Homo-oligomer: A and B are copies of this chain.
Amino acid sequence: MIRRISGGITAAKGFRAACCAAGIKYKGRTDMAMIVGDVPCRVAGTFTSNKVKAAPVLWDREIVESGAPVQAVVVNAGIANAATGKNGLDLCRATADCASAVLGVPASSVLLGSTGVIGPNLPLDRISAGISAMAETLSATQEAGTAASRAIMTTDTVNKEFAVTFDLLAADGNGTVPVTLGGMSKGSGMIHPNMCTMLGYITTDCDISRDLLVKALRTVVPDTFNMITVDGDTSTNDTLLLLSSGLAGNRPVTGEDESYSLFREALFSVCRDLAVLMASDGEGATHLVEMRVYHADTKENARTLARSVVGSSLVKAMIFGRDANCGRILCALGYAGPDFDPAVIEVYLHGEKETVCFYKDGCVQAFDEEKAAAILAEKKVCFSCDMKMGTEEATAWGCDLTHDYVTINGDYRS
């Protein structure tokens, strides 16, 4: 059984965190964070699909794909180190060298993450000073993890962390041991999404082979981080890393058995909760929007249809305006791409307690406008669509489009 516990990246054994105010761009707040493993860690990662990849993405990807162990992650907010050419890569190397010297770990075991404005160069002196300062305050406490999750925020309004624990057979065969998985993230997207970069870091003490770590992450992301959207803009910096210290004391997970299933389920739950929290904290958002597509013909079509609805500017604006303009849901399903029969599908609006049928038998239905308005006033607004084609389903999450989104993004650099 998977249990939610408090905490984030320091919840699992073998991880310490720190943060500091390096003064990279923001004033009066922390803007750098560091995660350090007590031991070399196995790592899996996924990165932006954008053709224009930020320097830290190029740096991390090479290390993660090499399969070499990782022992530290250094993250900054304020400047993205993207579109910075050779300078940007040189800066990655210098940052890793600095962390290497300060922490006494190989430079090739230091991963990097940046989020913020595209274009400017990072100030190496401040980054270096920040790393030295953080090395002094590394801590395995829950507070240290939480502080790190705050330091990587940009336009986020809340910090984002989740942790879960579950039991696996002990390595010595004597009963079970608790295994923990915790993570933090910032921003609002991954593949489709994102205005200000999604960075996600998940740590675990589960003793699990690197191959299975990679497989678990690869199979969990398509239905979690890749199913959220804020504005359809995929960042140049999106990065999700999963580090395992292997210190839980469990019997190593080396095959796709029940233990692996449990680990994958725990990872799914942390990834989904972080992802939904990012959608709900989308820039300027006042509502979380969920779209569930079921009885679809293929999994990929279900995902595409669900994402199209939460990505529609018109749907997003109507939710902001609490206007039950249900034709827009139908319209967004219709231009998503997958084929379906508009004469048979059914579309519903779900509140916490009530459900309204929007569309059935090829027609928009007469519905109780007051009931719909009450549902649209809830913080979380859910829609569903029965495609009546097969057995696949998918859920996507997004947020509404508000005046504040326009304000935030009309003047992001200043």
Chain A's interface: helix, strand, loop or mixed, by majority?
A: loop
B120, B363, B406: the one contacting A403 at CB < 8 Å is B406
In A305-352, the 8 Å CB interface with B consists of 311-314, 317-318, 320-323, 325-328, 330-336, 338-340, 342-343
A406 in contact with B412 (CB, 8 Å): no
Whether, in the assembled complex, A409 has its beta carbon less than 8 Å from a beta carbon of chain B, the answer is yes
Whether, in the assembled complex, A362 has its beta carbon less than 8 Å from a beta carbon of chain B, the answer is yes
Instruction: Give bound CA distance, A118 to B329, whole Å.
Output: 10
Contact segment of A2-10, A78-86, A144-152, A202-210: A78-86
Whether, in the assembled complex, A231 has its beta carbon less than 8 Å from a beta carbon of chain B, the answer is yes
Known: A334-B51, A339-B51, A406-B403. A85 touches B313 (CB 8 A): no
In A360-410, the 8 Å CB interface with B consists of 361-364, 401-403, 405-410
Query: In the complex, what's the smallest C-beta–C-beta distance from A329 to chain B, in angstroms?
Result: 9
B330, B335, B405: the one contacting A234 at CB < 8 Å is B335
Whether, in the assembled complex, A172 has its beta carbon less than 8 Å from a beta carbon of chain B, the answer is no
Whether, in the assembled complex, A413 has its beta carbon less than 8 Å from a beta carbon of chain B, the answer is yes
Q: How many copies does the complex hold?
A: 2
Whether, in the assembled complex, A123 has its beta carbon less than 8 Å from a beta carbon of chain B, the answer is no
Query: In the complex, what's the smallest C-beta–C-beta distance from A250 to chain B, in angstroms?
Result: 39
26 A-B contact pairs sorted by A residue (CB < 8 Å) = A51-B336, A82-B327, A83-B327, A83-B330, A83-B342, A83-B363, A84-B363, A85-B343, A87-B363, A117-B325, A118-B326, A120-B364, A231-B313, A232-B313, A234-B331, A317-B408, A317-B409, A318-B409, A320-B410, A322-B410, A323-B410, A323-B413, A323-B414, A325-B413, A403-B403, A403-B406
Interface residues of A (CB under 8 A from B): 49-53, 80, 82-87, 117-120, 195, 231-236, 311-314, 317-318, 320-323, 325-328, 330-336, 338-340, 342-343, 359, 361-364, 401-403, 405-414
